[in-house]
Every structure is written in structure tokens, then in C-alpha cells.
Structure 1
């Protein structure tokens, strides 16, 4: 298994979806189910962190009266 901290958002989501799928089948032993659940929780937390980081980077482009871009400012609500 890959180190979660080094995964991209897309990689983590793909593994999280696969993990949920394995849990939903009910074919895993109790010990394996617990391990899958713990890994899934860590993947979910990583995805949430990556999303927060992306939101913080989003900027709103400001325009002058003539419609020309004048710069950026933090997006509203962040």
C-alpha cells in the first residue's frame, strides 16, 4: 500500500472508493474489515485536507472598470 501522505487527491479517492467497495461486499474477515475501515478513515481525512488546501489557493480575479484584470484577492468565504 502507498503512503497516504504522498498520494494525490485523485489517487486517495480511487483507493478510498475501492476500500469502500471491499467493505460493502462483506467478504472480508473482521480483522481485515477493521484494517480496511482504518485505512479508509485515513484516506478520507487526507482527501479532506487536500481539498482544504486547494480551496485556500483559489483566488478571485479582480477587474478594473474597463474589464482588464487588475490582480487577485482571496476567494470569498474562505
Structure 2
């Protein structure tokens, strides 16, 4: 059984991917905008990487959204 934190990581990743695709950014494009390696972004989107607040902020800047938009999903 997955822990609640793993489920939250997956939900965050799904939301990140949805926003990235809505903005029509590839992983590489987002990577260049926020200076986070595209393989790391892929792991985040797949719920395989537990991120820090600073990473959420960098992703939000790269996407041009508020950090709260990245966290706007059901827990």
C-alpha cells in the first residue's frame, strides 16, 4: 500500500504535467526556463521524486504560474 506522501507526490506530478502540457512546454523547454534537469522534472511528474519548496518555486517561475497553482489538487 502506498503511503499518503507517495500519493501526494503522484498528484503533484500529475498536476505539474497537466500545467506544463497546457502551456505547450516540452520537458526540455521547462528545464531551460527553470534550470532544473529535464530528467528530474520527469521523475517529479511521475511521482518518483520528493521535492523541496525551492523546487516548487523554481517550477512555478518556469511555468509562469503561482506556486499555489502547482499545489491545487485534492489531497
**Normalised by the shorter chain, which TM-score bucket?**
0.3 to 0.5
More helix by share: 2
Q: Higher Cα Rg: structure 1 or 2?
A: 1
Q: TM-score, normalised by structure 1?
A: 0.33
More strand by share: 1
Q: TM-score, normalised by structure 2?
A: 0.34
